[in-house]
Amino acid sequence: MTKISIKEVLDFCFCPRYYELKHTDPNESNFKELYDKTLHKCFYAYLRALQNDTLKNSIEFIKYRWGVEWIKQKKNSEVICTPSAAKRDTYDSKRRAGIDAIITFDNLMSTPQCPILINKEYSIKITRDITLTGVWEYIREVTINEQKRFQILKIRTENNRFQIDDLMRHDLELTAAAFAFQKMFTAEDFDLVYIDIYKKKMSLSSRSDKDFLLLKETVKSVVNCINNKIKCISPDKKCFHCEYRDVCSSKL
């Protein structure tokens, strides 16, 4: 019986060495991950406040959360004095990028909506022996043309590695969220919404049975490779966008 998360599948597809460094040999050099996780904590707090009807001044609320969460990442000694100028500059550039990100998020969330699920884990069988896990970041109900619709949202905070504009159409994480939602709630009619904080835009999408088939085949292949220790590491231009470039011995 194998249990694998959709994030692990994506990381293995990106590069098997990247998967190893991130999931089996984690180190603290992944600034991108830290920034993304911290921003998501703020977004979820914002959405929970929206759900509980306690979000009085949304921008003040999220600004405060960002300040608390980002400063909290630092050790006490680092708050007073950061020994490495490069590290301090990265922290500071991310702090400023984070302010831009939370303002964008607040603007994109301004439409009337009813939050249903926030940061909720799912688990779905792909085959008898493989279970895929993931997280529904946000599911909401909105009214469009007087019709109520469910929407599954994914929030991306960083630019994608290859600047591909139609990435959303092929985003496996969103496909997995849609597949799990369809199976677990026997729902057929819902929208997928991709929130690109970096590009400050929101796009609607959908998935077909062909996309779900592709997802299942990808998960099965990745599990097969991991279980049988098959790893084809082919360093190429992706290495220039990789957070582990400094510690990877296989880089281009």
Residues that bind ligand SF4 (CB under 6 A): 15, 17-18, 21, 233, 235, 238-239, 242, 244-245, 248, 250-251
Kindly state the smallest distance separating residue 7's Cβ from ligand SF4, in Å.
Answer: 15
User: 37: which 2 tokens?
Assistant: 């996780």
State the distance between the two ends of the chain, measured CA to CA, in whole angstroms: 36
* DSSP symbol at 179: H
* Residue among 74 and 238 whose Cβ is closer to ligand SF4: 238
| Single-letter amino acid, residue 17 | R
Minimum distance of ligand SF4 from residue 17's CB (angstroms): 4
Is the distance from CB of 130 to CB of 223 less than 8 angstroms? yes
CB nearer to ligand SF4: pick between 177 and 248: 248
Q: Whose structure tokens read 């590695």?
A: 161
Least distance (Å) from ligand SF4 to the CB of residue 160? Answer: 14
CB atoms within 10 A of CB 25: 11
Minimum CB separation from ligand SF4 for residue 235, in Å? 4
Q: Using the minimum distance from each CB to ligand SF4, give the nearer residue, 17 or 94.
A: 17
Residue 48 or 238: which CB sits closer to ligand SF4? 238
Say what angle helices 31-51 and 85-108 make with each other, to 10 degrees.
30
